[in-house]
Amino acid sequence: MAKYKIIFDREACIGALSCNVVAPELWKLAEDGKVDLEGATYNKETGKFELIVDEKHINKHKEAAKVCPVLNVILVEEVK
């Protein structure tokens, strides 16, 4: 089963909430009007949140990345 890394640049997020609309169980509304990626950890080196997932929710994460109006705020990469 393939694994994927979801990379979320929360600082660049503008709070459009498109990701929350397509996957509210994965992209949770936060108190500051932005979202939090459920289960993600903060990478101090990159300044971004990261989450490794399997294929179960990958289509929802890909859809969240697609509908985000800010380029490269949500990235989905296959882990080799």
Domain borders along the chain are: 3-79
**Looking at residues 47-68, what average pLDDT do you find?**
96
Determine phi and psi for 56, rounding to 5 degrees. Answer: -55, -50
Using CA atoms, how far apart are residues 22 and 64, in angstroms rounded to an integer?
6
Q: Which pTM does this prediction carry?
A: 0.94
- Tell me which architecture the domain covering 3-79 has in CATH: 2-Layer Sandwich (3.30)
**Looking at residues 23-41, what average pLDDT do you find?**
97
- pLDDT given for residue 80 in this prediction: 85
Under a CB-based contact definition with an 8 Å cutoff, are residues 6 and 51 in contact? yes
